[in-house]
Amino acid sequence: MTQENSENSFAELSHLDKQGQAQMVDVSGKAPTVREAIAIARVKMLAETFTAIQAGNAPKGDVLGTARIAGIMAAKHTASLIPLCHPLPLHKIEVQVTPDPQLPGYQLQAIVKTKAETGVEMEALTAVSIAALTLYDMAKALEKTIQIEAIQLVSKTGGSRE
């Protein structure tokens, strides 16, 4: 690949400059629009662990409430954690932790909303990831084999590509 071809291919990638160096994308020319992202995760555990958490018998206290608050806090700090993310004004952060006895474990969902020049999918993914990690941390005294699974973005709306 010649230097010229290399520079042209880098120019097509929004997070790389002409020399192939990582950069934060310039979104200053974009109009702010309402944007929303929803991400999910699953936390799977033994039935005994699930039962103890549901009964409020975890050694560290309120497992589910702590996980939910951790997810909300994480969404607000995404730009500090992910190097090329833009700091965004977040207008809604909702983290739900729903028991699933069939798993057994919990389904987590984060809904993040803003009115900005770029989307909030990383904030939603960060929220469910940290909520899941916090759930693990709060329950690890009960079980060391808890599994965090299926972290994924399920929808995003807003912006010009919608």
- pLDDT tens-digit readout, 20-44: 777 788 888 889 999 999 999 999 9
CB 139 within 8 A of CB 61: no
What pLDDT does residue 17 have?
Answer: 73
The pairing of strands 147-157 and 105-116 is unpaired
Instruction: Write down all domains in the chain, each with its CATH number in brackets.
Output: 33-157 (3.30.70.640)
Q: What is the value of pTM for the model shown?
A: 0.87
- pLDDT one digit per residue (tens) for the chain, 162 residues: 444 444 445 445 466 777 777 778 888 888 999 999 999 999 999 999 999 999 999 999 999 999 999 999 999 999 999 999 999 999 999 999 999 999 999 999 999 999 999 999 999 999 999 999 999 999 999 999 999 999 999 999 998 665
Residue ranges of the annotated binding site for substrate are 84-86, 122-123
Between the CA of residue 51 and those of 47, 59, 104, 133, 143, what are the distances in Å?
6, 13, 9, 19, 12
Continuous segment of H or E residues that includes residue 65: helix 63-76
Three-state DSSP at 119 gives: coil
Residue ranges of the annotated binding site are 84-86, 122-123
Which residues are known to be catalytic?
A: 137
Burial readout 89-98 (b: 16 or more C-beta within 10 A, e: otherwise): ebeebbbbbe
What pLDDT does residue 162 have?
Answer: 54
16 C-beta neighbours (distance < 10 Å), count? 15
